[in-house]
A = this chain, B = another copy of it.
Amino acid sequence: MAFDYINALLKKEVSRTPIWVMRQAGRYLPEYRATRKIAGDFLTLCKSSDLACEVTLQPLERFDLDAAILFSDILTIPDAMGLGLHFVEGEGPKFTNPLHTLSSIEHLAKPDVGTELNYVSEAVSVIKKNLKGRVPLIGFTGSPWTLATYMVEGGTSKTFSKVKGLMYENPKHMHQLLDVLADTVIDYLNSQIEAGADSVMIFDTWGGLLSMGSYENFSLRYMSKIVDGIHRSYEGRTIPVTLFTKGGAAWLEQIAATGCDAVGIDWTIELGEAERRVGSKVALQGNLDPSVLYASPDVIKAEAFKVLDQFKGQTGHVFNLGHGITPDVNPESMKVLVDAVHSYPTKTK
């Protein structure tokens, strides 16, 4: 079956510009909140393949989306490494055993993805089965740098003082940590692909915190290693890979040079400018400001068309928000967006 989402990533002909939305299975949906309540705890929701499947499919019931994305968390890898992930209400993710010493980094070992993270590939299998080929399934991971920030800080941070202190002061240990993470991510994404993921995406949420030199050295280098290390095709299917560095608009050329298929961009640059800079090398995913979804239907449609106008319906563009949909958005506004994108006239070759 030919999917517009996959074709757009590979710059092949599409029937219409495909759309999916980051965090499309999430708190803005009342049915998600209900399932989350049944699960009791966020990590239980991730670890139950049936519940993870349920919430993955929820947005597809409501909206004419062109892809599903595995419901999981980027911090499953550090959890499998023994850091003890848990969630504190209103404070986000926390680790019981953060990497607060150099020796804890030295002793960190790559987990066996096939056993420790088996629940993730199991969820992929269950979702694939239940999708019945309706739309493709996106697998994902956090970037090594992004995972490392949480592991060293012990949770979210405002200043990122610990991880940046480590980076500036002990670059050797920082690289050691990132290396283990990159190797683990390769196994992790490959296990998702083997279980049925049709494309994969790397979320580099905190790469934009870095200076250009540090970004290349501590974040991009390891994403590049992953791009080289994962299955780019599997059982006859080409598996496109998308890199998304939030706040990385300045480094598009460098990101595109990794050999990835697509680059996700946030809303701080015009999609047309991104296309002029790297459109000959990669497809682009993005980039509507998520806050547009707080506006009325007419405004949502007009703003979505402004984004679409920059590609004029040609392939190589996967419509998305520039960041995740926020929990207080009305699901009706999401429907307006998806339908608006699909009403846009497509230019076929």
Contacts and interface: CB of A to CB of B under 8 A. Distances in A.
A250 interface: yes
Interface stretch (A163-171, A189-197, A338-346): A163-171
A299 B169 contact: yes
Nearest to A290: B159
Contact of A208 (B165, B268, B295): B268
Interface in A249-273: 249-250, 267-270, 273
Contact of A326 (B159, B213, B273, B303): B159
Interface of A: 159-162, 164-165, 167-169, 208, 210-214, 247, 249-250, 267-270, 273, 289-292, 294-296, 299, 303, 306, 326, 328
Contact of A250 (B211, B269, B290): B269
A326 B326 CA distance: 28
A256 B160 CA distance: 30
B212 A291 contact: no
Contact of A295 (B159, B168, B211, B267): B168
A289 to B, nearest CB: 5
Q: Which 9 A-B pairs have the closest CB atoms?
A: A164-B291, A165-B294, A168-B295, A211-B267, A169-B295, A159-B326, A168-B299, A161-B294, A212-B270
A341 to B, nearest CB: 17
A290 B165 CA distance: 10
A268 B159 contact: no
Given A169-B299, A267-B211, A268-B211, A291 B161 contact: yes
A125 to B, nearest CB: 35
Contacts of A273: 212
A159 B211 contact: no
Contacts of A159: 290-291, 326, 328
Nearest to A306: B213
